Amino acid sequence: MPKRVSMTVMAVLALTKLTSLATAAQAGVAAVSSLTFLSSLGVNTHIDQGYDATKYVPALHYLGVRNIRDSRRNLEKTIMVHQQTGVQVALLAFDVEGTIAAAKTLAQAGALLAIEGPNEPNNFPVTYRGKTGGGKYKSWLPVAELQKELYQMAKSDPILAHYPVFHVSEGGAETDNVGLQYLTIPDHADALLPFPAGTKLADYANVHNYVSGVRPGYVDNQAWQAADPTLNGNWDGLYKGYGRTWLRQFKGYPDDELLTLPRVTTETGWDAATPPEERVQGIVLLNTYLAQFKRGWRYTFIYELGDGEGGDGHQGLFHEDWTPKQAATFIHNLTAILADDKDVATPSAVNYSIPDQPRRVHDLLMQKSSGQFNLAIWGERVRGADDIVLNLGSVRKNVKIYDTTVGTEPVQTIGETAVVKLNVSDHAFIVQFE
């Protein structure tokens, strides 16, 4: 009798599991709002440093990105750019009081996206309350104190309280354990940390996981790996800033918490000086926007909008004469295809599949406010291609296929089909259907 009871229990459990799987299969893959994805796209500008902001307006219109990252000097020009393009501003901090005042001005103008802590204190040491930290200084405590004060002042202000605060970037380079690998200091943290448990430093982790990596090279799944929240690889990613700091190996979040940690990338990019390199820059950066969002990054800012402003490299999406590089063109194509101005509160699901999906092929399902679906499928192969079969779950009418490297018009339209065949190599397609 006990054996029969055991087998009955096992049968019930098996049936429950099969029922759950069947329900999941029927439910399909939930889409995300196209507007939510578009709102994640950002780029670094240099209005603060006095460059001609009027040149940014047509460039930003062309790109279709929704956010810029800049600092507080020349604030009236930043507001002008917002008024003429609609972009929101992630405001970079170099102090507390001046940043809070500038953030309030931007918020009142409808231009503020977020407030960000100090930029790369490992490269640009911070002085706060008469003490300097960061770089190779003995202590990074002034950096942490500035970040804590910035957060507390923002959250206590009635205008700014609901805006997110991004963490310090490159906190993984801290030379002493001042807690910059945490958003909130936990109970189990090192007893030597300067702040008590429960102290909040930021709402979002902030890294500069340059897709180009810390060593030169172009490899399969370049963007996908750079976006991996638990990878200890060639990218200064989430793990190296918040899992185990890359300089001194201070312990932070375990892998399972890194997977869900709120996070942003305020700098990533790819240097390209010649036409062949410009194509690689274009496909990799477009893949980066898609991979980052798919892997849980709320905002991604590419460095930078135009060549010649942030240094001697060629990381801009536009040349110095403001003609678009291929990266700008490919991003323009993507944002034009996905363009939408209304959020979808509860996106629908589609029971699509890619049988035997290759490891270098990725997908992201989006839905417009019109109800139309846009399925991004992108490849990250340096050489060669994968032939895939996309099963749409049922017969769809008027299926359009876009190639983001070709333009904003479909390269193929199919009247009715339940299956789409694609040859996927190193860039993104959009499969659009009702």
Task: Look at residue 23 and tell me whether its pLDDT is greater than 50.
Answer: no
Cis, peptide link before residue 304, omega less than 30° from 0: yes
- Lowest mean pLDDT across 2-16, 331-345, 378-392: 2-16
Nearest alpha carbon to residue 77 among 92, 101, 55, 94: 55
Taking only the tens place, the pLDDT of each residue in 74-111 is 999 999 999 999 999 999 999 999 999 999 999 999 99
Residue ranges of domains in the chain, CATH in brackets: 32-338 (3.20.20.80), 349-433 (2.60.40.1180)
Provide mean pLDDT across the span 162-188. 96
Taking only the tens place, the pLDDT of each residue in 4-22 is 333 333 333 333 333 333 3
What rounded mean pLDDT belongs to the chain?
92
| pTM confidence score | 0.93
- Regarding beta strands 428-433 and 373-379, do their DSSP bridges make them parallel or antiparallel, or are they unpaired? antiparallel
Task: Look at residue 26 and tell me whether its pLDDT is greater than 90.
Answer: no
pLDDT of residue 10: 36
User: Mind spelling out the 3-state secondary structure of the chain?
Assistant: CHHHHHHHHHHHHHHHHHHHHHHHHHHCEECEEHHHHHCCEEEECCCCCCCCHHHHHHHHHHHCCCEEEECCCCHHHHHHHHHHHCCEEEEECCCCHHHHHHHHHHHHCCCEEEEECCCCCCCCCEEECCEEECCCCCCCHHHHHHHHHHHHHHHHCCCCCCCCEECCCCHHHCCCCCCCCCCECCCCCCCCCCCCCCCECCCEEEECCCCCCCCCCCCCCHHHHHCCCCCCCCCCCHHHHHHECCCCCCECCCHHHHCCCCEEEEEECCCCCCHHHHHHHHHHHHHHHHHHHHCCCCEEEECCCECCCCCCCCCCCECCCCCECHHHHHHHHHHHHHCCCCCCCCCCEECCECCCCCCCEEEEEEECCCCCEEEEEEECCCCCCEEEEEEEEEEEEEEEEEECCCCCCCCEEEEEEEEEEEEECCCEEEEEEC
Band of pLDDT at residue 3, cut at 50, 70 and 90:
very low
Task: Look at residue 115 and tell me whether its pLDDT is greater than 50.
Answer: yes
Edge-first strand order for the sheet with 112-116 is 165-166, 112-116, 88-92, 67-70, 41-44, 299-302, 263-268, 205-207
Question: Over pLDDT 70: what percentage of the chain?
Answer: 93
pLDDT of residue 34: 98
Cα 424 to Cα 388: distance, rounded to the nearest angstrom: 7
Cα 172 to Cα 345: distance, rounded to the nearest angstrom: 36
pLDDT of residue 188: 79
Provide mean pLDDT across the span 323-327. 98
Task: Look at residue 198 and tell me whether its pLDDT is greater than 70.
Answer: yes
Provide mean pLDDT across the span 321-344. 97
pLDDT of residue 17: 37
pLDDT of residue 309: 92
Nearest alpha carbon to residue 236 among 205, 257, 282: 205
pLDDT of residue 216: 62
pLDDT of residue 191: 62
pLDDT of residue 215: 67
Taking only the tens place, the pLDDT of each residue in 32-59 is 999 999 999 999 999 999 999 999 999 9
pLDDT of residue 213: 87
- Lowest mean pLDDT across 23-27, 232-236, 409-413: 23-27
Which residues make Cβ contacts (< 8 Å) with residue 221, sequence separation at least 6?
A: 359, 360, 380
pLDDT of residue 217: 83
Provide mean pLDDT across the span 113-120. 98
